[in-house]
Amino acid sequence: MFRPQYNDYVTENAKSVATPGVQLSVKLQPDADTGEFLRSFSHVPGVIKVTQTFPGEKDQDLAGLFVVEVDGSALKSAMRVLRSYSFVEYASDPAPRRLIR
C-alpha cells in the first residue's frame, strides 16, 4: 500500500494505472504559484504522483523542481499539456537507455 510522504501529491489516476509509470523532471518558472501547478494536474492525462524535489526550500530555483510520475501510455499527451503551461519552465522525459555490449 502506498503511503505518500508529506511532499507527495497522489492523484486519482494512481488507482488505475495501465502501464508502468514514467518519471518526468519538471521545473517551474521562478515566480510560479506552486498551488496553481498542483491544481493543474486535473488537466494532465495519466498523472500518478507529483513529488517536490526540495520541499520547504527557500531558493525558488530549487523549490520549483518536481518529479511527476505519469502512466507510460499517457506520456506524450502529458508532456504536451505540461509544456503548454506558462508557469512550467521545462518538462523533460527520461533519456532512452539501453545496455551496450
**Rounded to an integer, what is the distance from CA 76 to the centroid of its chain?**
13
Q: Are 67 and 53 in contact (CB under 8 A)?
A: yes
Ranges of each domain in the chain: 8-92
Q: How far is Cα 88 from Cα 82, in angstroms, rounded to an integer? A: 7
What would the mean pLDDT of 2-20 be, rounded to a whole number?
Answer: 52
Q: How far is Cα 97 from Cα 12, in angstroms, rounded to an integer? A: 29
Mean pLDDT highest for which of 5-9, 32-36, 40-44, 61-65? 61-65
> What are the strands of the beta sheet with 47-52, ordered from one edge?
8-10, 47-52, 65-71, 21-28, 88-92
Per-residue pLDDT, 21 = 86
Rounded to 5 degrees, what are φ and ψ at 52? -75, 125
User: Any idea which fold 8-92 has?
Assistant: Alpha-Beta Plaits (3.30.70)
- pLDDT tens-digit map of 44-88: 888 888 999 998 899 989 999 999 999 988 999 999 999 999 999
